[in-house]
Amino acid sequence: MVKYLRYFIIKNIKHIKYIVLIMLLALAIIAVLRFFDNPSPEKQIAMRLEKFLTYASKSSGDKLSTGLIKSKSLEKFFMPNCRFYIRVSSFSGTYSPEQISSNSMRCRTIFKYVKFSAHDVQITLNSPTTATVDFTGALNGFTKRGKAIDDYRELTCKLQLTEGAWLISSVFVREIIKK
């Protein structure tokens, strides 16, 4: 086998050189594209919001372990002391990422499935390290007790760029939308 491989390499050395050269050229092109394909801060925030909404949602097939992983993953989206402002609510206050994760897991146990989505997203960069995101948040789902939920809120989130990641520092529920 080794003898045959050696013979093949010697016989086709010219072709192998071209293949290696093409592979190196392809790697160089990929490296250049990755270097110049830095998304704008607005794009980074939008992508992060989408990922957050995915982790916050629960599909009907999610197992307990999936819920734990998703809830724990939410911690990386919040500043150490995140402030929630919710009018006429006992939920207003300052929470740690761990507390937010725990509350998320408790909420997940209520629902058979739940989907969070954001509409009419407006991202404003206040400075190179702070941003404001205004959007309509939708919560659609079905509780384990058989109740359909279709809820909408106008929200404002303040974000701060910390160690290369946009983290939520405060959430303000501006308005409850009746549908």
Over the chain (179 residues), the average pLDDT of each successive run of 10 is 65 68 80 73 92 90 84 93 84 91 88 92 94 94 91 93 94 77
pLDDT recorded at residue 67: 84
The string of DSSP letters for 117-176 reads EEEEEEEEEEETTEEEEEEEEEEEEEETTS-EEEEEEEEEEEEEEETTEEEEEEEEEEEE
pLDDT, position 123 = 95
pLDDT value at residue 5:
61
Q: How far apart are CA 99 and CA 141, in angstroms?
A: 23
Output the pTM of the full model. Answer: 0.74
pLDDT of residue 13: 66
The pLDDT value recorded for residue 15 is 64
Burial 114-126 (b: 16+ CB within 10 A, else e): bbbebeeeebeee
Closest listed residue to residue 84, CA positions, set 104, 67, 69: 104
- Write the CB contacts of 143 (distance below 8 Å, at least 6 apart in sequence): 110, 111, 112, 149
| Model pLDDT, residue 179 | 58
Distance CA 54, CA 52 (A): 5
What pLDDT, in 10s, does the model give residues 100-132? 999 888 888 889 999 999 999 999 999 999 999
Q: What's the confidence (pLDDT) of residue 51?
A: 94
> What confidence score (pLDDT) does residue 2 get?
64
* β-bridge partners, 85: 172
